[in-house]
Amino acid sequence: MALKRYTKSIDSTIPIPALLYTDERFFSSQNGVGIYDGQQKSPSHQSGTVHVSSHRLFFMDNRHNSFALDLSYVVQTEYYAGLFTSSAKVTLHLASQTLPGAPEPEVWECHVCGNRNPPGTSPAASRVCTLCGVRRESSSTPSTPAPAASDAVACPACTYLNSSSNTTCEICTAELPVPLAPEISLIKLSFRKGGDKAFYSNLKSCLKTKAWGLTVDDPLPSGSGINGILQSVATSNQGQETNMKDALQDLEALMLKAKDMVRLAADLNERLTTSTAANQPEEATFIMSSLSQLGLQMDNAPVTLDMMQDEREWINQLAKELAGVLQTIMKDRGIIALDEVWGGWNRARGVALIPPATFLQVLPHLPVYTTPTIQTRQLHSGLTVLHTPPYSHAAFSARLVGFLSLNGPQTSAEIAQEEEITVGLAEGMIGAVEADGQVCRDDEASALNGRGNAVGVIRWWPWTEFDSYNYDGQE
pLDDT of 435 above 50: yes
Phi, psi of 222 (to 5 degrees): -145, 140
- Check if the beta carbon of residue 451 is closer than 8 Å to that of residue 443: no
Q: Is 11 helix (H, G, I), strand (E, B) or coil?
A: coil
Using alpha carbons only, what angle is made at residue 208 by residues 135 and 192, rounded to the nearest 5 degrees? 125
**What percent of the chain is predicted at pLDDT more than 90?**
27
Query: Among 3.90.550.10, 1.10.630.10, 1.10.10.10, 3.40.50.300, what is the CATH number of 305-389?
Result: 1.10.10.10
Lowest pLDDT segment from 72-86, 144-158, 236-250: 144-158
Summarize the chain as % helix, strand, coil (round to 5): 40, 20, 45
Q: Is the pLDDT higher at 257 or at 105?
A: 257
- Check if the beta carbon of residue 170 is closer than 8 Å to that of residue 162: yes
| pLDDT for 473 | 59
pLDDT of 360 above 50: yes
CATH architecture for segment(s) 392-465: Orthogonal Bundle (1.10)
For residue 439, what is the DSSP state? E
| pLDDT for 212 | 83
Mean pLDDT of 433-449: 78
Provide DSSP, 289-348: HHHHHTT--TTTSPP-GGGSSSHHHHHHHHHHHHHHHHHHHTSS-SEEEHHHHHHHHHHH
- Please give the CATH topology (third level) of the domain spanning 2-145+184-220: PH-domain like (2.30.29)
What confidence tier does 147 reach under pLDDT thresholds 50, 70, 90?
very low
Please state the length of the chain: 475
pLDDT of 417 above 90: yes
| pLDDT for 329 | 86
Whether this prediction's pTM lies above 0.75 is answered by: no
- Whole-number average pLDDT of the chain: 80
